[in-house]
Amino acid sequence: MVPLRLRLRDTDHLDEVEQTVKRMTEGDTDGMDFHDADGNAYDADNHPIDPIDAGQRG
């Protein structure tokens, strides 16, 4: 995964990042997966996601 500060340098990803930040700010995190430093996936309510389910979401 590329750190956010590096992704912002590529304008192709800027719209995606802006939309993601907007959704998160508005509380619309349905279907989003969040990952910790070890790569474990969690939903917006901090519940662990089965790796098989996480792969199907993306």
Helices (H) and strands (E) in the chain, counts: 3, 2
- Give the pLDDT means over successive 10-residue stretches in the chain (58 positions): 55 78 90 88 89 61
Report domain extents, the chain.
4-57
Cα 53 to Cα 1, 2, 9, 44, 45: the distances in Å are 19, 22, 31, 14, 16
Q: What's the rounded Cα separation, in Å, for the pair 23 and 29?
A: 7
Q: What's the rounded Cα separation, in Å, for the pair 40 and 57?
A: 14
Residue 47 confidence (pLDDT): 92
Q: How far from chain centre, in Å, is Cα 11?
A: 18
Both tokens assigned to 33? 């997966």
Residue 5 confidence (pLDDT): 57
